[in-house]
Structure 1
Amino acid sequence: MKIPTFLKISMFAVTTLLFAACQKKEMTTGNDALLSTKSGLVTINSVQPVKSEALLAMQCYNNAFYNQYGTYGPNFKAYYYSDVNHTGRMDFWKQAEAIETIIDAYTANNDTDLKNKMIYLYNGMRDNWGLLWTSNIYNDDVIWGALMCIRAFQITNDGGMKDMAKNNFDMVWARAWDTSLGGGLWWTTAKTTKNACVNAPAAICALYLYQATGDVGYRDKAKQIVDWMVSKLYVSTGEVKGAMNAAGVITEGTRTYTQGTFIGACSLLHPYFTSGGYKTMAVKVMDYTKNSMCNAQGLLPDEYDNEDCQGFKGIFARWACKFVAQHGYQTTYASWLNYNAAEAWNYRNSNGLMWGQWWHRTPDTYVNAFETTCGVAMMNGVWQF
């Protein structure tokens, strides 16, 4: 396929845009300035997009989707629109993942405006959905929200964020963990399948709760969850299957976010149980993702089955990059992850947005807020290491 040639943004242009952004963080940019940059694939040895571009990517995302809509106690509340047409707010779990993306960007850039927006978005979650999410039948939704809260707490030290994470995790554990199938958390209150999408993020959340509270019970729950996943969903080749039904049959295959969250859980668990093989399993999952799920150039797959899938590889990017940083695997994986970050940015649209298909240009006409988290998470993720 012939890939079209687009204008190249110079470092001077990037710098100019960033200086402009100091006055108005939700940037307005001319169409020509942010056109896609390459006339072909970049190489697997790509360097990271510069840090100013990672920050710019987050600012462009906020410019497209961020909506501040009122006061909340002493500060403000906000939410992300679901798409560029501003047809409504993102739904619960996607909103939580978009807030995790701004947390990623803050972690990489230490930008005060991003920290403030993160707080206002968290306030918007409280305002719209309350403090305890018992009415949500999807245990994975609740866990994504709790994980967002505990990561926000790590930045702000706000006890309300820690309490929201703790109370919602505890609620899911009480209603979703049982010994059928040897353990594991049920995906929904209907208890028909036990899924990676609730179990692996719950293990991550539990480990962060242990770090925040000192309650060893959370660490032990994380180990129980991961050990169950190893026995039921993990394959020795490095695949992490998506779900098992009540009869013990695997019903969903491997996805980038099942891979990424399992990597994240193993990465955090390893220091507490160094003889448990968790780091070794995380390496196998990284290798499987790189060698068996990507194309010949190493590009992560499109996951466009439905709108719920389109942000999956942003979740992979988050935890894969943290694993590389935590355990010093830059030599093994940095070039591959940098390549994906560079490709996402190369094919951005005229507003600096990147959809989840990192091999051709992002449309100017329509994108949704979930698919466009992928590139932002990837670009800021590589600045973790």
Structure 2
Amino acid sequence: MKIPPIAAVLLALVMGSCGKKEIKDTEKLSTNELGTISAVQPVRSEALLAMQCYNNAFYNQYGTYGTSFKAYYYSDVTRTGRMDFWRQAEAIETLIDAYNVNNNADLRNKIVYLYNGMRDAHGLLWTANTFNDDVIWGALMCVRAFLITNDGGMKDMAKNNFDMVWNRAWDNNLGGGLWWTTAKATKNACVNAPAAICAMYLYQVTGDVSYRDKAKQLTDWMVSRLYSSNGEVKGAINAAGTITEGARTYTQGTFIGACSMLHNAYPSSNFRNMAIKAMDYTRSNMCNAQGLLPDEYDCDDCQGFKAIFARWACRFVKDHSLQSSYASWLNYNAAEAWNYRNSNGLMWGQWWRRTPDNYLNSFETTNGVAMMNGVWLF
């Protein structure tokens, strides 16, 4: 099937409108093929269009759910099956990002229908999922959706699944922290940092200070075991106390998000400064000479990491009025991603060359969408 040009996609939209593995050190991006583009923020209509193009390629509404509807995102443009659990949750978070910037009724409806699809596919309590990070990503999606819809079922799903993970994964081995899986082999930033963010949201929506306390426990533990004074956030530590993963964009981003949310509750705890150091480390040590965020391709799970970084880095800039320090850098990444979209408006994770027109991966293509909408937070 011939893929329509971007103008045709826009016209149609207007008219119509987890097998995982331990992740090793990231690769640095080569600058040899980097294009040139000024660090101009993409216009707001382009940010909305990027989300609409994503939905046009991957969104599937597949039936009723009570008085509502249910939907899921396909794993690729061949539409052979739905995204797996945690990638689905992160794609929905990308949709939440876009709604928060654009306040678009169609996006809001899709959030509800995709949430219904998660309930339909996975039930209300995800004890069968042995990956504690998966459950936390899902809980975080739910509580963020609740803030938009005020649907108590979303809040309950977030709370119950967070509590389940806390009860089975937190212990005093290595001084605290959550285990990555029920096998209890490593304690990873990818579960502890988003859990801290989720706990702060739960504190906001329930008023239960125990969630705020848990968020601080989680973040304090990461500072003691995974955070370095230069701003690097290591990915994991094993039961013997050996670091087994280096920094990734999503570990940097979620640590930044956790510190940002904790700052107001604990202004004397240096959280804001640690988040700044994590931002600076990402820009100085993980990007190329022009400031472009790295390609992360060593496994399928890595390919959407930049979307998670974009989400929390951009919110940190907004919440702490740091535009003069970081807006140009983040705008550059957003503009570069959009500059190399394909004719269907999709952006893969290599923001230095054109996305192929037959590109398939729906997880990787969240990166550019999240970055383009994220920069409109500030």
Does residue 237 (structure 1) correspond to residue 230 (structure 2)? The answer is yes
C-alpha distance in 2 between matches for 1:320 and 1:127: 32
Q: Which amino acid aligns with 1:352?
A: G
**SS at 1:309's partner residue?**
helix
Does residue 311 (structure 1) correspond to residue 328 (structure 2)? The answer is no
Of 361, 364, 369, which residue of structure 1 is paired with 2:362?
A: 369
C-alpha distance in 1 between matches for 2:292 and 2:239: 35
C-alpha distance in 2 between matches for 1:318 and 1:40: 24
Q: Which amino acid aligns with 1:124?
A: G
Q: Do 2:259 and 2:272's aligned partners in 1 also have CA atoms closer than 8 Å?
A: yes
C-alpha distance in 1 between matches for 2:360 and 2:351: 14
Of 161, 164, 169, which residue of structure 1 is paired with 2:154?
A: 161
Give 1:87 deviation, angstroms: 1.6
Match of 1:41 in 2: 36
C-alpha distance in 2 between matches for 1:234 and 1:21: 44
Q: Which amino acid aligns with 1:326?
A: D
Does residue 92 (structure 1) correspond to residue 85 (structure 2)? The answer is yes
C-alpha distance in 1 between matches for 2:91 and 2:254: 16
Q: Which amino acid aligns with 2:131?
A: Y
Match of 1:24 in 2: 16
Does residue 116 (structure 1) correspond to residue 96 (structure 2)? The answer is no
Equivalences for residues 152-231 of structure 1 within 5 A: 152-231=145-224
Provide, for residues 103-160 of structure 1, a one-character-per-residue CA deviation record: whole Å limited to 9, x for no partner. Answer: 0000010000000001000000000000000000000000000000000000001000
Q: Which amino acid aligns with 1:160?
A: G
**SS at 2:230's partner residue?**
coil
Give 1:20 deviation, angstroms: 5.1
C-alpha distance in 2 between matches for 1:100 and 1:116: 14
C-alpha distance in 1 between matches for 2:44 and 2:9: 13
C-alpha distance in 2 between matches for 1:40 and 1:339: 12
Q: CA RMSD in A?
A: 1.5
Provide, for residues 309-366 of structure 1, a one-character-per-residue CA deviation record: whole Å limited to 9, x for no partner. Answer: 0000110000000000000000000000000000000000010000000000001123
Q: Do 2:9 and 2:53's aligned partners in 1 also have CA atoms closer than 8 Å?
A: no
Q: Which amino acid aligns with 1:285?
A: A
Structure 2, unaligned runs of 5 or more? 18-33
% of aligned pairs identical? 77
Give 1:18 deviation, angstroms: 5.2
Q: Do 1:68 and 1:79's aligned partners in 2 also have CA atoms closer than 8 Å?
A: yes
**SS at 1:356's partner residue?**
coil
Give 1:19 deviation, angstroms: 6.4
Q: Do 1:355 and 1:367's aligned partners in 2 also have CA atoms closer than 8 Å?
A: no
Match of 1:83 in 2: 76
Q: Which amino acid aligns with 1:23?
A: M
Match of 1:147 in 2: 140
Q: Do 2:47 and 2:372's aligned partners in 1 also have CA atoms closer than 8 Å?
A: yes
**SS at 1:67's partner residue?**
strand
- TM-score normalised by the chain length of structure 2: 0.93
C-alpha distance in 1 between matches for 2:83 and 2:187: 25
Give 1:267 deviation, angstroms: 0.3
Match of 2:245 in 1: 252
Q: Which amino acid aligns with 1:114?
A: L
Give 1:40 deviation, angstroms: 3.3
C-alpha distance in 2 between matches for 1:105 and 1:128: 24
C-alpha distance in 2 between matches for 1:41 and 1:143: 38
**SS at 2:64's partner residue?**
strand
Match of 2:121 in 1: 128
Structure 1, unaligned runs of 5 or more? 1-7, 26-38
**SS at 2:355's partner residue?**
coil
Provide, for residues 44-63 of structure 1, a one-character-per-residue CA deviation record: whole Å limited to 9, x for no partner. Answer: xx221000000000000000
